[in-house]
């Protein structure tokens, strides 16, 4: 009898806690994707500095993907023009990504917005200053260029702190 009461209590507690837990995990997806994108900006900047060539972090909102590769190279194709260290990431299905203000860059024969890191570590003037990630619930996080143009940071709003 005690075992049945304990199992019934656990079932009730689980049914009450489940909606709260699902909202928690949805919020974690947005935060996790923003942190991954921020880490990719650090990696692209470091790669541009270490290899001495511009590196592009591109965003394809329609294909729901983003990636990083050396400028004027391909992910696949003619040997010698291929960036063997190019990376492509799929956006989580519950999120949307948008580049708010950037001049499109040529990436793999496509014109895509993104961030071009120069060999001195600075982001090119035509690079995106803001990338917005939006969850299904309408929550938004922004990847915003820092004031010294050397990096990016995650914010809840676009404006100044």
pLDDT mean for each 10 residues of the chain (161 residues): 87 78 66 93 94 93 92 60 85 92 83 92 89 90 86 80 41
Q: Is residue 37 part of a domain?
A: yes
pLDDT for the residue numbered 74: 61
pLDDT for the residue numbered 159: 60
Q: Is residue 14 part of a domain?
A: no
Q: Does this model's pTM top 0.85?
A: no
- The CATH number linked to 39 is 3.55.40.10
pLDDT for the residue numbered 21: 63
pLDDT for the residue numbered 48: 94
100 neighbors 131 (Cβ within 8 angstroms):
yes
Q: Is residue 33 part of a domain?
A: yes
Task: Write out the E strands in 46-126.
Answer: 55-60, 65-70, 87-90, 95-99, 105-107, 110-112, 114-117
Q: Is residue 6 part of a domain?
A: no
Q: Is residue 8 part of a domain?
A: no
114 neighbors 102 (Cβ within 8 angstroms):
yes
pLDDT for the residue numbered 113: 94
pLDDT for the residue numbered 95: 93
> What's the domain range around 70?
27-155
Q: Is residue 103 part of a domain?
A: yes
Q: Is residue 107 part of a domain?
A: yes
Q: Is residue 19 part of a domain?
A: no
How many distinct structural domains can be found in the chain? 1
């Amino acid at each position: 009898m005690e075992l049945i009461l304990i199992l019934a209590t656990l079932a009730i507690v689980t049914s009450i806690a489940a909606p709260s837990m699902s909202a928690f995990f949805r919020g974690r997806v947005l935060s996790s994707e923003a942190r991954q994108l921020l880490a990719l900006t650090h990696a692209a900047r470091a790669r541009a500095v270490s290899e001495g060539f511009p590196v592009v972090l591109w965003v394809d909102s329609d294909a729901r993907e983003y990636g990083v590769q050396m400028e004027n190279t391909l992910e696949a194709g003619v040997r010698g023009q291929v960036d063997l260290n190019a990376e492509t990431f799929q956006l989580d299905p519950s999120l949307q990504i948008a580049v708010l203000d950037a001049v499109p860059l040529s990436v793999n024969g496509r014109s895509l917005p993104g961030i071009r890191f120069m060999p001195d570590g600075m982001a090119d003037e035509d690079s995106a200053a803001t990338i917005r990630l939006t969850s299904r619930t309408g929550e938004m996080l922004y990847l915003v260029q820092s004031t010294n143009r050397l990096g990016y940071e995650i914010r809840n709003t676009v404006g100044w702190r």
